Amino acid sequence: MTIQDKLLETPYAYLIEDRDYQSYLDYLAQEKNLSDNTLRNYQQAISYFAYWLYEGHEKVEAHPQWRELDAEVFRDYLLYLTKAEVARTTIRLRFSALKSWYQFLVLRRDLAKSPIQELQLPKLAKSLPVIISIEQMDELINAPFNITHPKQAPSWAPYRDQAILELFYATGIRLSELVSINIEDINYDEAILKIMGKGSKERLVPTGQLALDVILRYCHEAQIYSGPLFINKSKTRLSSRSIDRLLKKYVAYLGLSETITPHKIRHSFATHLLDNGADLRSVQTLLGHESLSTTQIYLHITKQRLREAYDNHHPRS
* Residue 263 a catalytic site member: yes
Catalytic residue among 88, 149, 237, 289: 289
* Among 109, 198, 203, 305, the one annotated catalytic: 198
34: left (phi over 0), alpha (psi -120 to 50) or beta: beta
Integer Cα distance of 137 and 35 in angstroms: 29
| Burial class for 164, CB neighbours closer than 10 Å (0-12, 13-18, 19+) | buried
Per-residue three-class SS string for 192-236? EEEEECHHHCEEEEECCHHHHHHHHHHHHHHCCCCCECCECCCCC
Mark whether 6 is an active-site residue.
Answer: no
Mark whether 313 is an active-site residue: no
Which is catalytic among the residues 264, 266, 267, 272? 266
- Is residue 196 a contact partner of residue 258, using CB atoms and an 8 Å limit? no
Give how far the C-alpha of residue 316 lies from the chain's centroid of Cα atoms, to the nearest Å.
43
Residue of 24, 218, 250, 298 with catalytic role? 298
Residue 267 falls in the annotated catalytic set:
no
Query: From the candidates 99, 174, 264, 272, which is the catalytic residue?
Result: 174
* Residue 266 falls in the annotated catalytic set: yes
245 catalytic? Reply is no
**Annotated catalytic residue within 57, 75, 88, 263:** 263
Chain-centre distance for alpha carbon 215: 24
- The residue type at 121: L
| Catalytic machinery residues | 174, 198, 263, 266, 289, 298
